[in-house]
Amino acid sequence: MRRGTALSVLALTVAALVASPTDASARRAKKKKAPARSRTAAAASFDPRLPILGTKLAEFPAGPAKAVADQACLACHSVDIVGQQRLTEKQWGAELTKMAGWGADFPADRREELLGYLVKNFGPDAAPWEPVVTRPTGR
């Protein structure tokens, strides 16, 4: 659970940094009784329906090895960077070896299962990956 808490705090920190200052001014404007329409429009320099960068996080696809992938990968980076790879079994094997060396936390006896999961979901023939469209960053 400590990791979950740490990730939530991290997400908030990132959100605070990437949120545009106009976010805060827009919130302040909302609190006022009758914000002038033109002022509100001037404050919005982006589509406010878009998520703040770093707050919309994908999940690994369902499967028996999802929990292993969660534990191995998500302490250091989001699902995005895994989800956009289209690697062969050999390439995924090399990635797992590199990441294990760098501290990825997964039981050695579940390596093959994790490898199969990555190849199945993020192999050369997987559907194209699309990035998340977000707001501009803060200044």
Partner 1 sequence: MKKTPESVDVVSMDRRRFLALAGVAALVPGAALSAVTDSIPIARRRMLQLNGYAIDAETPLDALTTYLTPNDLFFVRHHWNPQYPGHKGWSLTVDGEVERPLRLTAQDLRRLPRTTVTCVLQCAGNGRALYNPFVPGVQWKYGAVGNARWTGVRVRDLLEQAGMKPAGRHLHTFGSDRPPVRTPPFHRSVEIEKIMADAIVADEMNGEPLPALHGGPARLVVPGWAGDHWTKWLERLSVASEAQKGFYMETAYRYPKVPGAPGVPVPPAETRPVTELFVKSNVTEAPARARVGAPALLRGFAFSGTPDVGRVEVSDDDGQSWQPADLDPQHDPWAWRLWSFRWSPKAAGRSTLYVRATDGAGAVQPREAAWNPSGYLYNGWHSASIEVDA
Binding site for partner 1 (CB under 8 A): 6-7, 9-14, 16-21, 44-47, 50, 53-58, 75-81, 84-87, 91, 95, 101-104, 124, 129, 131-139
User: Residue 40 in contact with residue 29, Cβ under 8 Å?
Assistant: yes
- Can you tell me whether residue 79 is helix, strand or coil? coil
Please identify which residue in the block is written with the tokens 């895994």: 82
User: Residue 113 in contact with residue 68, Cβ under 8 Å?
Assistant: yes
Please report how close the Cβ of residue 91 comes to partner 1 at its closest, in angstroms.
Answer: 6
**Which is closer to partner 1, CB of 32 or CB of 84?**
84
Q: How far is CA 76 from CA 36, 58, 70, 71, in A?
A: 44, 15, 10, 10
Backbone CA torsion sign across 17, 54, 124, 74: positive
What is the identity of the amino acid at 81? Answer: I
**Which is closer to partner 1, CB of 31 or CB of 33?**
31
Please report how close the Cβ of residue 26 comes to partner 1 at its closest, in angstroms.
Answer: 13
Please report how close the Cβ of residue 104 comes to partner 1 at its closest, in angstroms.
Answer: 8
**Which is closer to partner 1, CB of 10 or CB of 67?**
10
Please report how close the Cβ of residue 12 comes to partner 1 at its closest, in angstroms.
Answer: 7
**Which is closer to partner 1, CB of 57 or CB of 64?**
57
